[in-house]
Every structure is written in C-alpha cells, then in structure tokens.
Chains A and B, each alone.
Chain A
Amino acid sequence: MNIFAQYCDTKLINSLAYTGNDHNVACATINNDLYRIHYQYAFDAYVFCDSLANEEIHCFIKDFGNTKRIIYYHDKSINHQAIAQLQHLCTHIGHEQQDGVLLMPYLVLPNVFNTDLRSTKRDNQQILCFLYGDTIPPNLDSVLYPSTTLPIKIFSKTIEHPQNLGIITEQEKAQLLQTSTFYLVDGKDYLVEAYLCGCSLVKLENGEIKICDTKEVLEQITYISYHQFVNSIL
C-alpha cells in the first residue's frame, strides 16, 4: 500500500518510514497542495496530524474519506470538533481513551531497535534522552548544565540548549542506544527501545540520576510493532 503521511515531528510519523516492506511511505509537509499530491501520486492511504490540520485537509477528508483509507492522528490532545465532523470518514487515533478515538498502544520498531548490531564497546559516560516538544521538562532542566555537569545528551528538533545535539533519525537513535550504557526515562518515550538496544534505564529522583529497575518499568508497558499497528488500522 502507498501511504502519504503529513510530516509532523512526532514519534509516529518519524517511525512510519520503517514499518517494513509491505508499505511505501512518503512523508512531507503539506503547503496547500494536498489535492495536487493526491492527483499526481494517487496514494492509497493518508495520515494527517491534528496539530497541523487545516481547512484543506478537512475538505480533502470529506471528499475522499469514503474511497481512501485516512488516519487522523490526534498528536497533542483530542480534537472533539474534528471527531464530530469527520467521524465516519477516517480512523481517529490518539493517546487518550475517548469515544470515537482508537487508543494507540506503545509502538516500537523491532527491526530498527535491537541488539543484533550492538557494538562491543559502549560509552559509559553518556546518558541519552530523546525529547519531543518545545520545552525541557522541569525535572530534567534541574540536572542539565549549568546546574550539573552530568553527561546527559538530549536530542530534539526544537529545544535550544547546549546539551541538545540536534536532529536524528530513528536509525541514528538506535545506533546511539546500541553504543551507550544509559537512557534517561522521561515520560514513556523510547523506554522499550532503549531496553531492546541493551541500555540500562535511569531516572531523575530529587535532582539526582538513579538506576531504575528495568523490569519494574517495562512491566507496565504493553507494546506492539508499528508494522502490526499500521496493518491493523489500514
């Protein structure tokens, strides 16, 4: 299946390209040329993000919702107005349990995040943290420079901080996890991936870094692969 995904800096969209060989995924921003993209490339399925949805996207869903598979991703919070307007024309997915919205499970890319290519040498001096969003969580800010000189390396597309080392792909995240010893628990992102790549999980407690009981952390998470999830909703 040929899938078009509206680009948005989220884990779901960044991971779609790695969902396996069953689907071809094209990811791009939509600059008022969604209809041109549709008529030119004739995708089978579309993925739109609520935080970037505009009138054009809503019109497109109303025009083609019955003939194309459309996924409407509530990436920040549930948009009830969008659900009411587009309920039967697309599949709504999100991170909260709501009527009309499919709750997304924890998704991983086992074909990318694994220990098959693990380097024999791990850097014991760095603590990794992958962030989405525009701001640093307050509890994390208290252990970054200049508050401390802990070797924490964060990766974000938007946060301006000396310890933010820039933009990385999912493949590069896996390579970093495979050559590092510690991953900082922040919310729930990339915990399973870090475990699959052989990292130990560490957490912030009273402004200090403490090693977590990985089993205890992961017992609370049920995950499936992106491949399974995409196939189930398309």
Chain B
Amino acid sequence: MINNKDLGIITYSIYPDMLGSSQMELIRDCSIHNPYNQYVIFTSYSQIINTTKSPILHLSHSKFFEGNLLVFDLDSLKLAQQCIKKSLVYFYSSNIPWAKNIRNYQYWHGLFLDDNTKIIAASQEIFDIYSIAWKKPICIKEQITYESFKDII
C-alpha cells in the first residue's frame, strides 16, 4: 500500500551549494515534523557532508520507492518518471530548459505533460511560461524549505 506522504528526492549529485543544503534540510525537517513517514534522498554522488542525518540511498534504489518523488532538474525528472512504484513526481523548475535547447516537441511533451508529473514554479515568470507552453504549475515556491513545501508534499 502506497503511503502518499512518503517523499523521496532524486538527484544525480549533491554538491555543498545552496541547492544541496536546501535538499538535505528539507528532508531533515520533513522527518522531524512527520516522524511516521519515510523521507530519503536518492543520489549517485554526494560531496556534501551529511550533518542533517538524512537518509541517503543510491539512485538504483529509487525504483522500489513507494511514494512521491521530488526532483530539481531534467535528468532527475526523466529518471523519476521511470520509477514504477511512485505516486507523483514533483518537478521544481527554476528555468526554462526548452527555450535555448531546441529539441523535438515530443521530447518535452513526454516530460512535462505526463499525468503523474506536477510542476512547481520557482517564480511568477516560470509559472506564466509553463502555463502558456505546457500546463499550469500547481504553485509558486521561491524557496526550498519545509515551511513553503509542507502544504503540497
């Protein structure tokens, strides 16, 4: 039985930058506030020192994860969409990847118009452009924190 409150972050690499720190703290805070749910990061390479005691598993384990997935880049989105046990994939988008990378329409269509993929926009501009081009994002979240994400995950 899938517990839809369980959340996994998929990212190919975690670096000691703002994004990496935000991801670790998000998982830590989710675990603190929801102790009965499962929160984990799936990655294949981590440069960050894990001071948050967040569970980190290898990417290959993500396909068995039953719950929602949160991703922050296209490569992770493609991987997350292949996970067979997932419920929903939340894609946090802070840019417009197709604007300068012209590819086949079907490539982007498959990524963004997947029924199980929900888009979270990082700004009003991103929200507007996704609404015009693909589908309306579910919300705008400028910061990656538990406080801003708790109502959607």
Contact status of A167 and B132, CB under 8 A, knowing A160-B99, A161-B99: no
Considering the complex, which residues of chain A in the window 143-200 have a beta carbon less than 8 Å from any beta carbon of chain B?
Answer: 145-146, 149-153, 155-168, 172
**Residues of chain A within 8 A of B132, CB atoms compared:** 145, 149-153, 162-163
Query: Interface range on chain B: under 10, 10 to 19, 20 to 34, or 35 or more?
Result: 10 to 19
**Residues of chain B within 8 A of A145, CB atoms compared:** 128-129, 132
Give bound CA distance, A155 to B105, whole Å. Answer: 8
**Residues of chain B within 8 A of A151, CB atoms compared:** 132
Min CB gap B54→A, angstroms: 34
Closest to A126 in B: B132
A-B contact pairs, 30 of them (CB 8 A): A145-B128, A145-B129, A146-B125, A146-B128, A149-B128, A149-B131, A152-B132, A153-B133, A156-B102, A158-B102, A160-B99, A160-B102, A161-B99, A162-B96, A162-B98, A162-B129, A163-B132, A163-B133, A164-B102, A165-B98, A165-B105, A165-B108, A166-B103, A166-B104, A166-B105, A166-B108, A167-B105, A168-B104, A168-B106, A172-B106
Give bound CA distance, A163 to B99, whole Å. Answer: 7
How many residues of chain A have a CB within 8 Å of chain B? 22
Give bound CA distance, A172 to B106, whole Å. Answer: 9
| Residues in A lying within 8 Å of B, measured CB to CB | 145-146, 149-153, 155-168, 172
- For the A-B complex with A149-B128, A163-B133 known, give 6 more contacts whose Cβ atoms are closer than 8 Å: A145-B132, A149-B131, A151-B132, A165-B108, A166-B103, A172-B106
Residue B107, interface by CB 8 Å: yes
Determine if B133 and A162 form an interchain contact, defined as CB atoms under 8 angstroms apart: yes
Q: Count how many pairs of residues, one from A and one from B, have CB atoms less than 8 Å apart in the complex.
A: 55
Query: Chain B's interface: helix, strand, loop or mixed, by majority?
Result: helix
Considering the complex, which residues of chain B in the window 110-124 have a beta carbon less than 8 Å from any beta carbon of chain A?
Answer: none
**Residues of chain B within 8 A of A157, CB atoms compared:** 102
One digit per residue, 1 when the CB lies within 8 angstroms of any chain A CB and 0 when it does not, for chain B 126-148 equals 00110111000000000000000
Min CB gap B130→A, angstroms: 9
Closest to A158 in B: B102
Residue B33, interface by CB 8 Å: no
**Residues of chain B within 8 A of A155, CB atoms compared:** 105
**Residues of chain B within 8 A of A164, CB atoms compared:** 98-99, 102
Closest to B96 in A: A162
Residue B100, interface by CB 8 Å: yes
Determine if A167 and B129 form an interchain contact, defined as CB atoms under 8 angstroms apart: no
